[in-house]
Structure 1
Amino acid sequence: MSRKSGVLLIGHGTRDELGTQEFFELGELLSRRCGDLPVESALLEFQSPTIPDGWNALVAKGATHIHVAPLLLFAAGHAKSDIPDAIKQCQSESNGITTDQSRPLSRHASIVQLAAQRISESLASMDSDPQRTAVVMVGRGSFDPCAQADMRLLSEIVRTRLSLPNVCTAFYAMAEPKLPTVLRQVASTGRFDQILVYPHLLFHGRLYQAIVRQTEEAMEEFPSVRFHYTDYLGPNSYVSDAIADRVLGDTKRKAKQFPSVAGPTKNG
């Protein structure tokens, strides 16, 4: 039976106006990236359209199979329970709609490339001595040990790719070490003239503002060290490419690895 597919892009949601705008901008980029495949954007919390809103919009467009694309950097509670539970509820209220859920963006090549680009551009503008410069990569943080390990591994990949001698990982919440602790430890060694903070976040919002504030507090505590921070990932074509590959590329790879059982065709 032929299926008409659609993509449901699910963001976490934020009360930040700019962050919300950036989410929908990314949805537009993904829609253009997916061509004729319909894309609807939905939010897990705080705002509309909700997940049922996005689901129903795709069904109204004739979708009989929905690719669920969680806009999450790492696999934790939202990817493992909150979003699947919401999708099951939607599915129970629809007839004959099938789904699959793509993996979080994690260490997709396009995400690694964009993170490395954010850091390398900032380092170039600082005119820094690599041996006297530390890079601190900051993740949102999660109680999930796999998500924590994923962030640490991302830092190591970026360190290797850019041949940086001094890179460490910090978290904003729910995991150790916290950003203020790491900034204090690095700045107090006396080995570094400059510290660059990279917030590994998708959009503007409360978390980004908090990371900037904690960095500025470190500036006041250690006036002899120059602190800088990069931009976050943002609504960028690298991010939309990563989502599209998670949705379409993973689906094709699964189909090739686990072909469906069917009757004989004309060609046998």
Structure 2
Amino acid sequence: MSSGVLLVGHGTRDATGTDQFFELTAQLQQCLPQWPVEGCLLEFQQPDIASGWQRLVDRGVTEIRVAPLLLFAAGHARQDIPTIIQECSLRNPDIRHWQCGPLSRAPEMVDLLVQRIEQAASGAEQEASGADWPLDDSVSLVMVGRGSYDPCAQADMKILTEVVANRLPIGQHAVSFYAMAEPKLPAVLDQVASQTDRPSTVIVQPHLLFQGRLYDAIAGQVSQAASRHPEVRFICGDYLGPTESVAKAVQRRLQRT
């Protein structure tokens, strides 16, 4: 059986974020040289899912492994993508297909988040004093996710935050969301900064794959919190990016099934 991989991204209106998705598609192809890989997008940009499916069919595959590039399982993974894939399969009933799970708490994702948080701490201190700065219990971590109405996705984000925080020598930690779920990021930042035993530093780590309007909006909310609480240093970490770690996490999902 000749297999191919359909990597399905959410899509963004941001040109840089779109380019980064296709950089990741190329990374995944390097991880899986035995299978053709096509990238496609659910929203905003082309190629769409139907076009990506057809490209794999034209390349002669007889089985399509659908890989949603999604952090958690919610409406897109459970409903939107399967519905479109089913429509595609009706046009090619001889093509077998199946869909792997979201990235969730794949070890590569946890490792990458820890790395991003450590980089945020080290980069901020080097900029301020030219020296490395180790994380310690005077630092609080606030993880922020995109947000979802799906309670399972919300719970998955909270568990991921616990897993990441337990890997770091920090003080308190909290989870927040940008939209569609509570608590929202500004409220959590105010709460953390207003505690009697408030931290000296708050690192906010956006749990986002690529550059886009959402990352910029979160960075803006962190900057606003810094203005409201000048006695606390706020640092916004970087997004995950089109890294080999993310590609390896997708590979893990594809090869487990």
Task: State the secondary structure of the residue aligned to 1:162.
Answer: coil
Question: So what's the TM-score if we normalise by structure 2?
Answer: 0.94
Task: State the secondary structure of the residue aligned to 1:216.
Answer: helix
- Matched residues, number: 248
**1:224 aligns with one of 204, 227, 231:** 231
Tell me, yes or no, if structure 1 residue 138 matches structure 2 residue 147.
no
Tell me, yes or no, if structure 1 residue 149 matches structure 2 residue 147.
no
How far is the alpha carbon of 1:133 from its aligned partner? 1.5
Tell me, yes or no, if structure 1 residue 172 matches structure 2 residue 178.
yes
Deviations 1:112-139, CA, capped at 9 Å, x for gaps: 0100111122223432662221110101
Q: Which residue of 2 aligns with 1:35?
A: 33
For 1:196, give the aligned amino acid: I
Alignment of 1:166-205 (within 5 A): 166-190=172-196, 191-205=198-212
Deviations 1:139-187, CA, capped at 9 Å, x for gaps: 1111111100111101110111123221110110111100000000011
Deviations 1:164-213, CA, capped at 9 Å, x for gaps: 22111011011110000000001111521211100000001011011001
Most deviating of 152-161 and 128-137? 128-137
Most deviating of 123-132 and 196-205? 123-132
Deviations 1:58-116, CA, capped at 9 Å, x for gaps: 00010110000000000000000000000000000113011010000000000001001
Give unpaired runs (5+ residues) of structure 1.
252-268
Checking the alignment, whether the CA contact within 8 Å between 2:135 and 2:170 is kept in structure 1 is no
Alignment of 1:12-161 (within 5 A): 12-125=10-123, 126=125, 127=133, 130-161=136-167
Aligned counterparts of 1:104 and 1:95: Cα–Cα separation in 2: 25
Q: Which residue of 2 aligns with 1:211?
A: 218
Checking the alignment, whether the CA contact within 8 Å between 1:128 and 1:194 is kept in structure 2 is no
Aligned counterparts of 1:44 and 1:131: Cα–Cα separation in 2: 41
What percent of counterpart residues are identical? Answer: 51
For 1:141, give the aligned amino acid: G
Give unpaired runs (5+ residues) of structure 2.
126-132
For 1:222, give the aligned amino acid: H
Checking the alignment, whether the CA contact within 8 Å between 1:79 and 1:104 is kept in structure 2 is yes
Task: State the secondary structure of the residue aligned to 2:46.
Answer: coil
Question: So what's the TM-score if we normalise by structure 1?
Answer: 0.90
